[in-house]
Copies of this chain bind each other. A is one copy, B any other.
Amino acid sequence: MSKKILVLPGDGIGPEITAQAVRVLEVCRDTFGLALSWEEGLIGGAGYEATGEPLPEQTLAQAQAADAILLGAVGGPQWDKLPDISKRPERGLLGIRKQLNLFGNLRPAILYPQLAEASSLKPEIVSGLDIMIVRELTGGIYFGQPRGIRELENGEKQGFNTYVYSESEIRRIGRVAFELARKRNKKVCSVDKANVLEVTMLWRDVMEEVAKDYPDVELSHMYVDNAAMQLVRAPKQFDVVVTGNMFGDILSDEAAMLTGSIGMLPSASLDEQAKGMYEPCHGSAPDIAGQNIANPLATILSVAMLLRYSFNEGELAQKIEQAVSDVLDQGLRTADILSAGMTQVGTDAMGTAVVNAL
């Protein structure tokens, strides 16, 4: 059975970087004989311009019909001031996550030895860094009700959101983290603020419960403020980190930046059947869009994650990861990861190099 991929280029540099990732898909199909097909869809600002919605109905239908989704990036300044917030590009992203129940967000923070210099941290602190941040993606304060802005009796406005998690939501993301840890260094650090927030006291209790099914994996707990510190102080202490939607948003970006090369980091967002959406960790970078200078490697590495997690093609995934490592060894660099003595190449040329290395 041929597998179907929905490609959502999105905004900014999205179309350029997904184009290079699609070339890698072509190699998977043509050279490695994977039964694959794909089609494109609209999301974010591109969706809004074409249909008035950041997540057009047709895109949602395409996504539901697909076996996996590859996303570029969404957003841009022209849509930041849209008075109707429900039309902004980010809403398309939040919408597709929620509609497809993509609750398990995997955000690796890996330092490529070839790019160690790019980090703002001292080499001994980050060399060999390999953390997997597991972020709950369809619950928590991002989706909690009630929410809004109301007027108080004294006439002033009050904004409010609700941070909420149920046991089952916590349990299923916990399982994702423990399963991953089993295949890694067998350590899960659960991040909460259980000394202040009741919702994260429940989080902590449920994680303890889940841990009972994984006696081979070590569970620790850390408050989110301490986790933000420890990531700076000694990031290599972490193996798998599991946390809620908002803390995960913050900590995964912090962890990504430890590597200094966020243009290299892919991510996966999975449902219970490991159907998933794959996208680079970086944003749509509208300032450099259309100039053939964006780094396509995070999107190409997202293809590797797609093959591994949704199509169970771990070997082929590794081949792609190896090809990326090879082009770095060849000294090829896009502008964002350029350093002295290396050869600067554009988006296209980087894609070509990976295709050739494959």
In the complex, what's the smallest C-beta–C-beta distance from A56 to chain B, in angstroms? 20
Interface of A is mostly: helix
In the complex, what's the smallest C-beta–C-beta distance from A12 to chain B, in angstroms? 15
The interface residues of chain B lying within 8 Å CB-to-CB of A141 are: 163, 197
Asked if A120 is an interface residue, CB under 8 A from chain B, the answer is: yes
Copy number in the complex reads 2
Instruction: Provide the bound-state CA to CA distance between A354 and B201, in Å.
Output: 42
Instruction: Provide the bound-state CA to CA distance between A201 and B83, in Å.
Output: 12
Given contacts A120-B232, A198-B149, contact A144 B160 (CB under 8 A): yes
Cross-chain contact of A160 among B164, B228, B234, B249 (Cβ < 8 A):
B164
Contact flags A125-156 to B (C-beta < 8 A → 1, else 0): 10000000000000001101001110010001
The interface residues of chain B lying within 8 Å CB-to-CB of A157 are: 166-167, 202
- A90–B195 touching, CB < 8 Å: yes
- B168–A156 touching, CB < 8 Å: yes
Asked if A229 is an interface residue, CB under 8 A from chain B, the answer is: yes
The interface residues of chain B lying within 8 Å CB-to-CB of A258 are: 232
What residue in chain B is nearest A169 (Cβ atoms)? B158
Instruction: Provide the bound-state CA to CA distance between A122 and B228, in Å.
Output: 18
- B228–A196 touching, CB < 8 Å: no
- B120–A202 touching, CB < 8 Å: no
Which of A85, A142, A163 has the most chain B CB atoms closer than 10 A to its own CB? A163
What are the nearest 8 A-B pairs in CB distance?
A159-B199, A159-B202, A228-B254, A229-B257, A225-B253, A158-B166, A232-B257, A160-B164
